[in-house]
Amino acid sequence: MGDKKNVDVEQKELKKGKNRWYIYLLATIIPFFVVFFYFLFTDTDLVEHTIGFTIKGNSTKVMYETFDVYIDELVKEEFREEITVSLMNIGFNGKGRFRIVESKERADVSIGYGIGEYFISSGYLLPVGHMYWIEDSISSEALEKGRYSTLVSTITYQEYDHFLTTHYPEISFEVVDNMVESIEGGEGVSVGLVKPEELSKELKLLKLDNEYYLDTFDSGLEVSLIIESKQYNLSFIANIIQKNVSIDSDGFSINSVAKVNMTGVTALTRGLGQVMDQHKDYDYPAEFIGEFLGDADLTHVSSETSFVEGCTSYSGMKFCSRPEYIETLFASGVDVVELTGNHNNDFGSKYNTQTINTYIEEGIAYFGGGLDAEDGAKPYIVEVDGNKIAFLGYNYFDTMLNTGAIATTSRAGANSYSDSKVKENIEEIRDEVDIIIVDFQFSECYSYPPSDEIYPLCYKPVYKQASTFRKAIDYGADIVIGTQAHQPQTYELYEDGVIFYGLGNLYFDQVRWIGTRQGMVLTHYFKGGDLIQTKITPTIFDSALQVKVADEDDAVLLLELLETAREYL
């Protein structure tokens, strides 16, 4: 009986052993076939080379094929040279992998503009209007379905004509020599298409599907430099080319474009100060706008108040800020404070001095005012992503009235103004910097209505403002801004510069009138020492005194008011 049990046990063990063997076999074979079929369908070249090598065994013979490449003549010369040099450097044992040919019919592979799976660079054509346009966004659907008459420059069209007509057959293209002049009166009817390097301050870059190219660098009509072949399985050849050829098609990136945010009046005082104290929340004003403001290489505010310990100035026209209010500036990402304001000495110049020293300790730059007259007259010069930018600031209003807001040899305050001083200061630094921005604390418009209604008068420049601001451009400034205005004023292109007469309030308590609730943030974009774009972002606040980016209705209302006011320049 015992012998029989032993035999049964042995048979069961043998059966288990066989089962384990089958399991091990399947565990080895199944993954092999999974991998094999995966590469069979995704990379047949690899499978063919692997099988060929296996059949040939340890043969030392290597098949190294040379491919003829045609580079489309419309590809810009610098790209052609870069591609050619890169491809000619690929070889094995003295044999080149690629040969450049002049005929597309003879070529195994071609490189040109188009849309395809394999590409070596991507670029974009950007939708633009005139700087004065109110419209700021279009949809790709509207563009591609031909709802706009689309204008392209001759330089753009020569390079992309085949690509555009092939891939966007519904778009009607009109070639123009001067995009700025051609696009000015075409709002709602025409849209321009330009390459990034054709952007200028006179053109308004439009959002496409709510994406703004200079913030993302990946929006617009994509134009890729693609690799094509009708004769070969392209994945093998394209993989070699992509690994060895690298082209930045337009040279635009977050590291090559400087972004500067500039704002109007910041007065952390009076009713706004009271609200912050009640909430015990000192970044309260910036809750909805701070991240937007700080999203720049450099963020500017024009501060009207000095920090005074124990400040309780909740009414009247004498302004101060509690030291805790600096948290609002931190929450707004502020890098530089303009001190042209006429209230910084309201509680005595010693507090202005203490405040400036606080900025220095916190690493916040300043200009347009200072510890004394000499300090206040200094320009603030900074280099951002290869762009050397200078800021100058002057208090026109208090210089004319000879008030205590102006700095002296022994007193902190705002930088004084004179026509000759502005001219001399600009000429002194013109050759040292790329961009000069001049800010003015000018006369303000006090003609506010008795109730909350639109009052067009204050959207226009006040007496002597246009001539004073234009002179600064004549003297060599690139951008001139009025930072005194408690409600926005119009803007204009003038000669070789651009003027913004008033930006309105950023942080303040003037909630009674629509004009003083409105504001503008200017976002300047610089590349290669040039102003290539200024984006205007309308802002607004309500009874809560928290600033927000204006919605579409409020933004359009402000821009329409500024457009009407421009007619009086």
Would you say residue 335 has pLDDT above 60? Answer: yes
Question: Which of the pair, 455 or 446, is modelled with greater confidence?
Answer: 455
Mean pLDDT of 433-459: 91
pLDDT confidence of residue 4:
47
In the chain, the percentage of residues whose pLDDT exceeds 90 is 75
User: Which residues contact residue 426 at a Cβ distance below 8 angstroms, ignoring those fewer than 6 apart?
Assistant: 392, 436, 438, 472, 475, 476, 477
Query: Among 43-47, 61-65, 348-352, 452-456, which is the least confidently predicted range?
Result: 43-47
pLDDT confidence of residue 18:
54
pLDDT confidence of residue 355:
98
Mean pLDDT of 333-340: 98
What value does the mean pLDDT of the chain take? 90
Query: Among 58-67, 85-94, 241-250, 425-434, which is the least confidently predicted range?
Result: 58-67
Would you say residue 58 has pLDDT above 70? Answer: no
pLDDT confidence of residue 379:
98
Q: CA angle, 196 as apex, 191 and 199 as ends, to 5°? A: 65
Query: Could you tell me the pLDDT band of residue 5, with boundaries at 50, 70 and 90?
Result: very low
pLDDT confidence of residue 447:
72
Would you say residue 60 has pLDDT above 80? Answer: no
Would you say residue 7 has pLDDT above 50? Answer: no
Would you say residue 389 has pLDDT above 90? Answer: yes
In the chain, the percentage of residues whose pLDDT exceeds 70 is 88
In the chain, the domains with their CATH numbers are 67-244 (3.40.190), 258-566 (3.60.21.10)
Query: Could you tell me the pLDDT band of residue 284, with boundaries at 50, 70 and 90?
Result: very high
Query: Among 78-92, 346-360, 370-384, 488-502, which is the least confidently predicted range?
Result: 78-92
pLDDT confidence of residue 401:
96
Query: What SS3 class is residue 155?
Result: helix
Query: Could you tell me the pLDDT band of residue 469, with boundaries at 50, 70 and 90?
Result: very high
Across-strand partners of 479? Answer: 437, 498
Structure tokens at 392: 């100058």
Would you say residue 114 has pLDDT above 50? Answer: yes
Mean pLDDT of 274-280: 97
Helix (H) or strand (E) holding 565: helix 552-566
Sign of CA dihedral 294, 299, 300, 305: positive
From the list 416, 415, 488, 496, the residue with the least C-alpha distance to 201 is 496
Q: Which residue has the tokens 């891939």?
A: 167
Would you say residue 287 has pLDDT above 80? Answer: yes
Contact 477, 453 (CB under 8 A): no
pLDDT confidence of residue 475:
98
Which of the given ranges, 91-105, 217-231, 500-514, has the highest pLDDT on average? Answer: 500-514
From the list 405, 430, 400, the residue with the least C-alpha distance to 417 is 400
pLDDT confidence of residue 9:
46
Would you say residue 61 has pLDDT above 80? Answer: no
Pairing of strands 369-370, 413-414: antiparallel
Mean pLDDT of 236-250: 85
Mean pLDDT of 445-469: 91
Structure tokens at 528: 């290669």
Query: Could you tell me the pLDDT band of residue 56, with boundaries at 50, 70 and 90?
Result: low
Q: Nearest 5°: phi and psi at 463?
A: -55, 125
Cα separation, 215 vs 205, whole angstroms = 11
Sign of CA dihedral 404, 407, 408, 412: positive
Query: What SS3 class is residue 206?
Result: coil
E strands in 75-200: 91-92, 95-96, 98-101, 109-114, 119-130, 137-138, 149-153, 173-176, 190-194
Q: What b/e string do you get for 220-240 counting C-beta neighbours within 10 Å, with b at 16 or more?
A: bbebbbbbbbeeeebebbbeb
Query: Could you tell me the pLDDT band of residue 116, with boundaries at 50, 70 and 90?
Result: confident
Would you say residue 74 has pLDDT above 90? Answer: no
Mean pLDDT of 244-251: 79
Query: Among 121-125, 467-471, 497-501, which is the least confidently predicted range?
Result: 121-125
Estimate to the nearest angstrom the gap between the alpha carbon of 355 and the chain centroid.
32
Query: Among 39-43, 197-201, 388-392, 539-543, which is the least confidently predicted range?
Result: 39-43
